[in-house]
Structure 1
Amino acid sequence: MPTDTSAAYADLPLTLSEAGTGRPILVLHGGGGPATVAGLAEHLSRTAHTITPVHPGWDGTHRPAWLTGIDDLALAYLHTLRERRLRDVLVVGSSLGGWIAAEMAARDTTGCVTGLVLIDAVGVHVETEPITDFFALDARGVAEHSWHDPDRYHLDPADVPADDLARRGADMATMRVFAGDPYMHDPTLLSRLGRIQVPTLLLWGESDRVVTPAYGAAYAEAFGNGRLEVIPEAGHLPQLEQPEATFALIDAHLRRTDSLSS
């Protein structure tokens, strides 16, 4: 995908990949970085205009010192959509990206966001379903919590090139800035979701142990127009473990929301 840099604000350059034509879809990655949504963005670009940013601070991109909250990111992306005069935008977010998507919809005062897809999103506090402390896990623990088939996806750090390890460490440090305290949620977000009336699809891997399907059900119920779909044989990143099932559900949601907006 072609990549360019544009400015959300004077001191906030954004690295963006764009492809395709049609309805604009903003694709937001999670803590694992842009590679975790690259295949999803490529799929969606066949029928839509995809815009896939790298969150500032990930993959070595610049993060200004003032940019420390998910709400800051949400407002920066809303500003980018408005600057480009984009309307009828579907926002698709994975994990941390789903949290950003929810915050965007909650803060959208111009109605440019008309649909949401949240994939195993974090961002809310559910009393009975705590979010796993990802920072406390070793590599094996990350695999056990994140994947339906951890043996297939587990990477021994000893087998990872040093530059990749350094990049991942820097990405984790950036994620701590945005989501370390309070850990992976905004205490007020759950109570604000009811005001979001745009059609919202929440996709959840059945085997996710970072945020469980029960957490996803509580998340979906809080939206004004939310619906949960659980994907079998998938963990925290169903777009990687079960891409065909994930893409089919998003395509169907896109068709439904297209008909509502036309």
Structure 2
Amino acid sequence: MTQTYLLLHGGGGAATMTTFADLLAERTGSQVLAPTHPGFGGTSRAGLTNVPDLARHYIAMLDQLDLTNVTVLGNSFGGWLAAEIALGASPRVSSAVIVNGIGVEVAGHPMTDVSGMSVAEIRSFSFHDPSRLPAPTGGGPSPDVQALIGYTGPSMSDPTLLERLGDVRLPVHVLWGESDRIVDPGYGKAYAAAIPSATFTLLPRTGHLPQVETPEDLLTALLALS
């Protein structure tokens, strides 16, 4: 059975998945889908108002494409979205991978509020070594961050999500960059602990976006799970 990966980006937009999507397709020969969420990249939100709406949008897309054996992998906001898709229990989805996801509320491990930060500030919290990356363009908040808040609300979390994760019946793997200062590893461990039979893997020398900072290491970790 052909393996398909659905890659779901976070607030940084679809460009944060491009390199990893190409790497995953090349190394595995799998079909890899890396769409832009409605509302991101200057697109219309198409009447979608929240994260469960967007999850249903992607489940309907898998139905329309008649895909099976789909692994949904999401980073940051995309991790929250992957969790909601897993809760949707589509028979087309075989597993989910949450990479430095957001969306839950964990006592003692608050998410860093990025709503008023510049791109440079967000990067400083997101990467193990921000100095190794190209200088960002623009000084204000990213338009995609504004699209993100449109789905999540100002808190970028759902107080019901942590408890609802107990209903997930799919295999789920939670992967976390150890240097993430947006949502720390303790937050990630609580995310995994809320999901029955989920695994948790800490990724060294990387931050909130392992698919951007250390794509080879993320691929190695992902393939070790299969």
TM-score w.r.t. length of structure 2: 0.92
Partner of 1:169: 142
**What's the secondary structure of 2:142's corresponding residue?**
helix
Partner of 1:14: none
Q: What is the letter of the counterpart of residue 50 of structure 1?
A: V
Query: 2-side partners of 1:37 and 1:191: how far apart?
Result: 29
**What's the secondary structure of 1:58's corresponding residue?**
coil
**Are 1:115 and 2:88 counterparts?**
no
Contact 1:139 1:154 in 2 (8 A): no
Q: What is the letter of the counterpart of residue 188 of structure 1?
A: T
- Asked which structure has the greater CA Rg, the reply is 1
How far off is 1:250 after superposition? Answer: 0.9
Query: 1-side partners of 2:98 and 2:122: how far apart?
Result: 21
**What's the secondary structure of 2:12's corresponding residue?**
coil
> How many equivalent pairs are there?
224
1:179-200: CA deviations, max 9, x gaps? 224x111111111112212221
Query: 1-side partners of 2:178 and 2:70: how far apart?
Result: 28
Task: Choose which of 81, 87, 102 in structure 1 pairs with 2:68.
Answer: 87
The answer for unaligned runs of 5 or more in structure 1 is 1-20, 256-262
1:34 to 1:241, Cα distance in 2 relative to 1, 3 A? same
Query: 2-side partners of 1:126 and 1:118: how far apart?
Result: 16
Q: What is the letter of the counterpart of residue 179 of structure 2?
A: S
Query: 1-side partners of 2:63 and 2:205: how far apart?
Result: 38
Query: 1-side partners of 2:119 and 2:60: how far apart?
Result: 37
1:160-203: CA deviations, max 9, x gaps? 2x6xx79x63212211211224x111111111112212221111
Which aligned pairs between 1:230-245 and structure 2 lie closer than 5 A? 230-245=202-217
1:128-176: CA deviations, max 9, x gaps? 10110011323443222111112233736xxx2x6xx79x632122112
Which aligned pairs between 1:129-208 and structure 2 lie closer than 5 A? 129-153=109-133, 155=135, 160=137, 169-181=142-154, 183-208=155-180
Query: 1-side partners of 2:134 and 2:35: how far apart?
Result: 26
How far off is 1:25 after superposition? Answer: 1.1
Structure with more relative contact order (C-alpha pairs < 8 Å, separation 6 or more): 2
Query: 2-side partners of 1:151 and 1:249: how far apart?
Result: 24
1:76-120: CA deviations, max 9, x gaps? 000111122222210000110010010011122x42211111110
Q: What is the letter of the counterpart of residue 62 of structure 2?
A: L
Which aligned pairs between 1:1-262 and structure 2 lie closer than 5 A? 22-46=2-26, 47-64=29-46, 66-108=47-89, 110-153=90-133, 155=135, 160=137, 169-181=142-154, 183-253=155-225, 255=226
Contact 1:139 1:155 in 2 (8 A): no
Give aligned-pair identity as a percent: 39
Contact 2:100 2:208 in 1 (8 A): yes
Query: 2-side partners of 1:35 and 1:170: how far apart?
Result: 13
The answer for unaligned runs of 5 or more in structure 2 is none
1:206-262: CA deviations, max 9, x gaps? 100000000000000111121111111111011122222111011122x3xxxxxxx
Query: 2-side partners of 1:152 and 1:179: how far apart?
Result: 30
1:154 to 1:226, Cα distance in 2 relative to 1, 3 A? same
